[in-house]
Amino acid sequence: MRRLKFCATFMATVTVARPQTNVEPQGKWLFSATTDLSVFLGSALLAMIALGIGAWAGVFHGSTPDWTWIPAVLLVDVAHVYSTGFRAYLDKTEFRGRPWLYSLVPVISLLVGIGLYAIGDHYGIGEITFWRILAYLAVFHFVRQQYGWVALYRSRLGERDRFGYWLDSITIYAATLYPLIYWHAHLPRRFWWFLTNDFAVVLPHGVDSYVAPLYWLILFSYAIRSVYVWIILRRPNPGKDIVVATTALCWYVGIVAFNSDYAFTVTNVLIHGIPYLALIYWYQRRQLNSSSSSLTKAFFAHGPYLFLGVLWFCAYAEELVWDRAVWHDRAWFFGAGWNVDYLKLLFVPLLAVPQITHYVLDGFLWRRRATPDLFKPSAKN
């Protein structure tokens, strides 16, 4: 029943991102007031509800249970990785613009992954080198995505003041980096990014206590300026404020307040994956025109259901191979494991290619030059 509630809420959240083709975002919002509130504020509220369910179910002290792992990790986190493919590979105009980038990134990712995995085997340190580098790449990606949302909202409202730029930037980085500093100063925790001991940098215990006053001062300064902008200047940017507030809340609660794999999972992946899925769906639907390929029209012209269905199928297929070939954790869901440990050198880097490709391409796809209309101030402001 809980799994069904998660899935139903997720479907409702993404479904609202169904704009009319070629319609500009409404006013100061990226998508529309309803959609922005649903995907940014709604995903954070969903994370808080999930925390309440976890406390009631008593699952804070163990691994994330399957009834949470399936909707949160499989249907959101893994699925959103594959959504990049719709933007980079199924959009023929986009792919033709940078064919070498989109062709080489997966190949180079595989070769580098195999190299890192082989180095670990050669020096007798196992696979941890591969997973550590992947973990820090993921951390960079997660932090930068939150900064990216803030940059989009600043551009949507046409904010150009330097003080506001620096305060916004420092605040979103403080909201993400302070919890990471706390995490590295309190290793080991009951949760890891991917694999036990994948965070290699152990900071001196207590260093976070020296950083904490600056962290709270930055958040307080942002709040004071936001109140000033709302009340005195009467030029609020509610979307940006929601992103900053929900990022600070979820990263602090999931990493600092609770020492729990469950708490980290629900606060980490929901606010990251749901808005990104909405962005891909909204952007591709907005780009539809008479020259769009029939495949693109099939996925985006009639609602998000086929789009989500393909993503969920890809996510399930990937996790099935992960579980059968590597993890052997969920035979009840994916089937009996395969005895292919001798092929891990190939399987692990190959299965990580979609994830690495997503991390790398995300840094190119949403730059100002690639999507100038996203950065253009709305005429309605």
| Residue pLDDT, tens place only, 181-194 | 999 999 999 999 99
| Residue pLDDT, tens place only, 263-320 | 999 999 999 999 999 999 998 888 887 666 777 788 888 889 999 999 999 999 999 9
CA–CA separation, 226 vs 222, rounded Å?
A: 6
pLDDT exceeds 80 at position 22: no
pLDDT of residue 18: 41
Interaxial angle between packed helices 344-365 and 99-122, expressed in degrees from 0 to 180 and rounded to the nearest 10: 140
| Residue 227: how many other CB atoms lie within 10 Å | 12
Token code pair at residue 112? 């580098």
188 backbone dihedrals φ, ψ, rounded to 5°: -85, 150
Among 49, 104, 41, smallest CA distance to 72 is for: 49
Token code pair at residue 298? 């099939």
Contact indicator for 329, 323 with CB cutoff of 8 Å = yes
CA–CA separation, 151 vs 363, rounded Å?
A: 13
| Residue pLDDT, tens place only, 238-248 | 999 999 999 99
pTM of the model: 0.90
Q: How many CA atoms lie within 13 A of 221 on its CB side?
A: 17
